[in-house]
Amino acid sequence: MASFVIGNYAPHVPAFAGIANLSWFHWTYDHVALVGMFDWASLGLVTIVTVVLSLLASSCSRAVTSGS
């Protein structure tokens, strides 16, 4: 929720400009499929981050449940 708010207020609040670059809303800003603007590289970046975080979460979950 915070990244959504920061991303939307970044053009109007200069203090948010730097931190807004960390939001996936900023990464996919140029991908607007409804009007035919596609930016597949940004979606690839979001996919990679999602897969890596999912793998990290599942490995941590397995470590906790196995007692290692």
pLDDT digit string, tens, across residues 1-16: 887 888 778 888 888 8
User: Which run of H or of E encompasses 36?
Assistant: none
Residue 67's pLDDT band, with cuts at 50, 70 and 90, is low
Residue span of the structural domain in which 59 resides: 2-66
26 CB contacts (<8 Å, ≥6 apart)?
Answer: 7, 10, 20
- Return the pLDDT at 4: 80
Domain count, the chain: 1
Model's pTM, two decimal places? 0.59
- Return the pLDDT at 68: 53
What are the phi and psi torsion angles at 54 (to 5°)? -65, -40
- Return the pLDDT at 55: 92
Residue 66's pLDDT band, with cuts at 50, 70 and 90, is low
